[in-house]
Each structure stands twice: as C-alpha cells, then as structure tokens.
Chains A and B, each alone.
Chain A
Amino acid sequence: MKKIKIDYRQCIGCRHCEVACSLFHVEGIINPRRSRIRVFTEGDFCFPVIAGPFTDAECNSRNVVVIEGEEYDGCLLCRASCPVKPVFKEPDTDIPLKCDFCGVPPDPQCVKWCPSDALTLVEDQE
C-alpha cells in the first residue's frame, strides 16, 4: 500500500499541489478551494494537509500541537472536513471533499507537481 509522506520542512508554500489537485479533479478548472489538499501558513510555517474523512459534528475538545517549540491549534493539522472549517468542501455546495489518491493505482497529482519534495509517495512498511 502506498501513502503520501508530508515533510513540512521542505514545503515552500507555493500551493502548486492545490492547483494540481483541482486541475485533475475538476476538468479544466483551477480552483484551490476545490482542492483536496490545502497548504496552510502560520508565520513562516507552511504545511500541506490532505483532506480526510467527513464529520458532521464539531469536536467537543481541542488540542494543541507543539512543533519546534511553537504551539499550534490541533484543528489546523486535522484532516477532517467538518462544520467549523471552511475548507475541504465544495465552495458552492458544501459537499465534503476527500483525497482519493487520484485513482487506482495511486497516482497523486499533488506529489507530481510538488517542486520541493515536501510531498512524496512512499511504500507503507506495515
């Protein structure tokens, strides 16, 4: 089984992955808001998040993630398409979006267009 490995230290925040995803999934249209991968920025920290499962409920607890001494809202790193975030949803219809690895066998376009090796496709060891 393959998986996409995200190395946020390599990410330069160019959002080319968003473009690649939306071009692949929505024929002939570029729209990062319809992409199943988004790059978020906090200060100089850029990190790609790939859309995961849909949930129709808000979390009733929150967590804080500490990365290199800085605290980040766990919400930021969460992959869920949920009611509190305006991301991973079709902008017009709110239909949730989820990464499908661009088909079978996996051929993720975001990995192909990532210029900085922040995204790589690796073999799952387990």
Chain B
Amino acid sequence: MSWTGKVLRVDLSRGSWSIEALDLLLAVDFIGGRGLGARLLLSEVDPQVSPFSPQNKLILATGPLTGTGAPTGSGFCVVTKSPLTGAIACSTSGGYFGPELKFAGYDLIILEGKSPSPVCLSINDDEIQIIPATHLWGETTCRTEDIIRADFGDPWLAREIHIASIGPAGERLVRFASIVNDKYWAAARSGVGAVMGSKNLKAIVLRGTKGILVGSPDNFKQAVSDTLDKIKKSPLASQVLPELGTSFLIEVIQGHGILATRNFQDGVFGGASKISGEAMRNTMPQTRRGCFSCPIGCTKIIDKRAQAPGYDALAQLGACCGIDDLSALTSANLRCNELGIDVISAGGTIACAMELYQRGILSPKDTGLRLDFGSVATMVELIEDIGMRRGFGEVLGEGAWRLAQTYGHPELFMGVKGQEAPAYDPRGVQGLGLQYATSNTGACYASGYTVIDEILGIHQKMNPQTAENKAAFVKLLQEITAVTDSSGLCPIVLFVLKLADVLAMLEAATGAGYTEENLLLAGERVWNVERLFDLKAGFGSKDDTLPPRMLQEPMPSGPARGQVCQLDHMLPEYHQLRGWDENGIPLSEKLAELGLEYK
C-alpha cells in the first residue's frame, strides 16, 4: 500500500518532534492529502481558535498516489485554519515537494506551537533538525532557497533537496501569503503562508531516499500506462496545455463573456487578446516544466528563472485590475511568488481597492497613490507594499473583505467567506457560482472546477447559463475533486480522467478495497468534515452566498449580457442533496452514513 504509514509531528514551541504511526483505517476512510488533513485538523484544533495562535496547526499532507508515478501525482495539501477566512484552508500544490516527503518516509507533517525565533525544519529521512533561520528572515522565497542550497556546500546534495518556504509576506502575516516550493510552485490560497509565518517557521528542507510500496505492481503499471494513453489522446492535455499552459483559458473565458474585468464590473475585457496564452507564446520564449510524474507539463518558464503567469495571474492581476500589459503581468507574477503572496487574492484585493478609488471612497490621501484601473505602476507598487506590509499595503495585506468593510462598502468585496473569487464571473457560468458559494474554503474553483463541463464540455456538454441540474452536478464534482485532491493528484487530471480511471490507479497502489461507490462516499465524507470545521468556526448556510453584484446586477455586456447568478435556484436543492438542514448542518442520518459526529 502506498501510504508510508508514518506521521511526523513537530512541536515548534519546544523544538521537539515525534514520529507516529498513521491510523490506517482513518487513512482509508479519508484517503489522504486534503481529506486526511481536514479530518486531523477537525479532531486536533478548536475551530474557534485564532488562526495565528500557537494552538492552530499547520498540516502538510500527501496522498497515497503522491510520488508513486501516477500521472500528475505530485500533490500535497496544506491544511490549517485560514487567517483570511476563519474557515478551513486546504491549499494544494504540485511540484516535487510532496513526492519528496513520501520518499523521506512520511505521509504527513503536523506542525504545532510557535518557535520563539525564526527556524527552518530540516528533514533528511529519519534525521530531523530544527535549525536557526534568523539569517533567512526577510529574504524572498527564491533567495531563501538559494541561500539554503549554497549553505549545503556539496552541489550534489543541494540538487537533491526540495524546499518549501515563505517570503516576507508570510513573515509579516499578510492574510493571503503563500508557501512556495522549489521556486515555481505554491500552496497559494487562504493564507497558509501567514500561518507558517506566525509559527516563525521560514522553510522546510527535505531529502528522502526511501521507497514507496505499491500494492499490486502489475496492475499499477497497467493503470499508469492506460492513464498515459488517455492523456496522449486528449488534445487539451497533450497539445493545448503543454503549448500554452493554463493561460489558454483567457481567450476561452473571454469568449463566454465571464472574464472578470475591473473587479467584476464586466465580463468582457478589451485587452484580453494582449494577455492571452497565444500572445505570451508569440512574444516570450518559454520552456516547459512538468511537476513530478506529470506528462502534461503546464508550467511554463520564461527567461530561465520565472514561472510564466497562468490563467489566474493573467486574469486576476490583469483583467480584474484592468491591466493589459503582458510584460508587467509577468514581472508582477514573479514578484508575488518571490514575496510569497497568492496572485488571486492579491489581484482581487487590488481590484477592490481600485473600485473603491473609482467610486471616490478611497482618495489619494488614503493610499498615497492613484489607484486607477489599468495603472501598471500602481499594481507593481501595491504588490511590493503588500508583500513588505508597508504604506497602504498594510491595509491591503488584510485582504479585500476587510478592506471593503474598513471603508464601509462590503458589497464591493468580490468573494465568499472572506476569500477573493477567482476571475471567472459566475453570472455566465451558473454551476461555478454554486461552487463559489458552497466551497468550504471560501470562493475557490479548485474544489469543484465546473468549467471542465460547463465551458470546455469535456465529459459532458452543459449550458453554462442555465441553473437547471447544476446542484447535482456540482455536488458530484465536489466529491470527485475531493477524491483526486486527497489521493495526491493534480485537479487538472480531471481534464482527462473520470473517477473510474482514478480508482484503477488508487486501488492498485493501495489495495484498500476501493470501489467507485465507496470513493464517492469518501469524497462526500471529506466535504462534510470540512463543513463541520466551518460550522464549528461559526459559518452556516447564511455564508453560502455570493456578492450582491453577482446575484443582482445583470452582466452589462458580452455573451453573458443580462445574466445574474441564479443561486436561489440551486442552493436549496444543493443543501437537500447534501442531506443538510436549512441551516446547512448535516442531518444525523447523513452523519451516520458517513461515520461522522457533530456535537
């Protein structure tokens, strides 16, 4: 079975650690990764606790397919109580860090307490060290990695390690700070980097030389080969994504009139063709990188050092802030990674500030800058200020929700449960609106990327503008995504695979007796555990909503013109399908079916 069976628990307050056995029955029920992380957070952390208190824990969790060579199986998930939302954070990342954690022999790291001074956690198989990191404090994520690698002396060892670190933003508790690994990848959303910063943990350095066991090697090899064939046959996964990365979506999303523009004031952006994947390919020489065991390789590298902006950066820092300057967006994206901030929340927060400014609510006196939509200089300056938490960045570092409230206009916050929405306007893609509203981590597409079917029509063609049948569709997709996240696969694998394909690999690797039915049940269990954490943290059905703009203001132009998100038509049915009462609390029959408790 492809769990390592071990958990590393580190108490940063005492500077001690222990290696515990993984509860395998629990692992089977929650699969691993996001699911197991959420289950452990719920049982170990009081959901009412302050996110920055030493009582909050930071869990880095891999899944049973992480590092096994299952295509796209590079994922790990950072689970904690989010300082941005106050709800659960489940922030996934690809790269090489998750697989290396498995090779070091651990399924999870649980980080507790708070170190009295800045430290690094070094893991070299069974050899654990907590090393002073005062000399790294203040450095960007990239510099931090360079310094740590240089300190190794031996270039071969330096090449064999993998590093996850926070930048100045995480240290300064920017509420949407990220954890960056190996320079190009990040567990970006919900402020997981700020929780790491609150624990005075600058970086985790990993080296592992152990193996991962698979239950049925022949079945596993066959399942992997089958998956590789399917990916090869998918034009999207074998041509479009390798060629353009996720930035191919700019033209597609613009084509549906849902490219969030100027803080969601429009769904069509005049400058879209200047910031599209095609424009980037034509103007910037790029190379392609794949995460561990990923044949798709959607990561694009520009100029030998910077990750090219993907859809999120281009749309959020670009369209949503009215900016169509590709080279500025590329630098801004790089800077976000260096400072360690989430591009989606950064763009969403800057866009919100720009609209407050547009409406005269913010003046240059408040900000020290002119915050016009489309101003490149402003965006670049604000990203720097947010990352360093200085000037007006002090306020922006709190996120758009707190910003909009501070200035008395909560309706101008475009997000859910305190988290900024990604730059897909749900007025023209109804299912995604339901996903934003119900996501346990606040507005997010990662736990239910309905665009796959509503816009791209991969597994089934759906009309994005109708709310019919979307409740059941969204619920099922949320379950399937919980399974892939918990297994350690990248969500992009669902551009190609169906649940049955994931099952084939997961069962061959684990031998845990998974079927499609019990996997879906596991996915539902994961979703409900996250929900229970949120309920105990004070959230309820009142929070399953969208900003008034998305519900009431018809889209002004483009293909989605006149549309609003018909959440009322979907939400009651969704709650009913979930087996939840009108307050969004799981009914006792549902809890019994899933083997959960709610007190």
Q: Tell me whether A30 and B69 are in contact (CB under 8 A).
A: yes
Q: Tell me whether B103 and A33 are in contact (CB under 8 A).
A: yes
A9 to chain B, nearest CB (A): 8
Q: Check A16/B295 contact, CB under 8 A, given A30-B69, A44-B287.
A: yes
A27: nearest residue on chain B (CB-CB)?
A: B217
Q: Tell me whether A31 and B297 are in contact (CB under 8 A).
A: no
Q: Check A31/B209 contact, CB under 8 A, given A23-B69, A113-B228, A115-B231.
A: yes
Distance between Cα atoms of A22 and B68 in the complex (Å): 11
Contacts of B224 in A (CB 8 A): 113
The reply on A20 being an interface residue by CB < 8 A is yes
B21 to chain A, nearest CB (A): 20
Contact check: which of B68, B210, B213, B288 meets A19 at CB < 8 Å? B68
Q: C-beta contact mask, A11-31 vs B, less than 8 Å → 1, else 0?
A: 011111001101100111111
Contact check: which of B217, B225, B297 meets A116 at CB < 8 Å? B297
Contacts of A113 in B (CB 8 A): 69, 224-225, 228
Stretch at the interface among A50-58, A59-67, A85-93, A96-104: A85-93
Contacts of B155 in A (CB 8 A): 73
The reply on B193 being an interface residue by CB < 8 A is no
B489 to chain A, nearest CB (A): 14
Contact check: which of B96, B210, B221 meets A31 at CB < 8 Å? B210
Contacts of B157 in A (CB 8 A): 86
Q: Tell me whether A44 and B289 are in contact (CB under 8 A).
A: yes
Q: Tell me whether A29 and B211 are in contact (CB under 8 A).
A: yes
Contacts of B217 in A (CB 8 A): 23, 27-28
Distance between Cα atoms of A43 and B183 in the complex (Å): 10
Contacts of A44 in B (CB 8 A): 287, 289, 301, 304-305
A81 to chain B, nearest CB (A): 13
Q: C-beta contact mask, A31-48 vs B, less than 8 Å → 1, else 0?
A: 111100000110111100
* Interface bracket on A: 35 or more
Q: Tell me whether A31 and B212 are in contact (CB under 8 A).
A: yes
B347 to chain A, nearest CB (A): 25
Q: Tell me whether B304 and A30 are in contact (CB under 8 A).
A: no
Contacts of A73 in B (CB 8 A): 155
Contacts of B295 in A (CB 8 A): 14, 16, 115-116
The reply on B482 being an interface residue by CB < 8 A is no
Q: Tell me whether B212 and A40 are in contact (CB under 8 A).
A: no
B114 to chain A, nearest CB (A): 34
| Residue with the highest number of chain A CB atoms closer than 10 Å, among B69, B160, B296 | B69
Contacts of A26 in B (CB 8 A): 211
The reply on B214 being an interface residue by CB < 8 A is yes
Q: Tell me whether A29 and B213 are in contact (CB under 8 A).
A: yes
B155: nearest residue on chain A (CB-CB)?
A: A73
Contacts of A43 in B (CB 8 A): 304-305
| Residue with the highest number of chain A CB atoms closer than 10 Å, among B213, B217, B291 | B217
Distance between Cα atoms of A41 and B295 in the complex (Å): 17
Q: Tell me whether A46 and B212 are in contact (CB under 8 A).
A: no
A10: nearest residue on chain B (CB-CB)?
A: B288
Contacts of A34 in B (CB 8 A): 211
Q: Tell me whether A13 and B212 are in contact (CB under 8 A).
A: no
Q: Which residues of A in the span 70-120 have a Cβ within 8 Å of any Cβ on B? A: 73, 84-87, 91-92, 112-113, 115-116
A73: nearest residue on chain B (CB-CB)?
A: B155
Distance between Cα atoms of A28 and B508 in the complex (Å): 11
A34 to chain B, nearest CB (A): 7
Q: C-beta contact mask, B193-227 vs A, less than 8 Å → 1, else 0?
A: 00000000000000001111111010011001100
| Residue with the highest number of chain B CB atoms closer than 10 Å, among A12, A40, A92 | A12
Q: 25 A-B pairs, CB-CB below 8 angstroms?
A: A12-B289, A13-B290, A14-B290, A16-B69, A16-B295, A19-B69, A23-B217, A26-B211, A28-B215, A29-B212, A30-B212, A30-B214, A31-B103, A31-B211, A44-B287, A44-B289, A44-B305, A45-B304, A84-B156, A91-B209, A91-B210, A113-B225, A115-B71, A115-B297, A116-B288
B residues contacting A by CB (< 8 A) are 67-69, 71, 96, 103, 155-157, 159-160, 209-215, 217, 220-221, 224-225, 228, 231-232, 287-297, 301, 304-305
A residues contacting B by CB (< 8 A) are 12-16, 19-20, 22-23, 26-34, 40-41, 43-46, 73, 84-87, 91-92, 112-113, 115-116
| A14-B291, A30-B214 given; 17 more Cβ-contact pairs under 8 Å | A12-B289, A14-B290, A14-B292, A14-B297, A16-B69, A27-B217, A29-B214, A31-B210, A31-B211, A40-B159, A41-B159, A44-B301, A85-B156, A113-B224, A115-B297, A116-B288, A116-B297
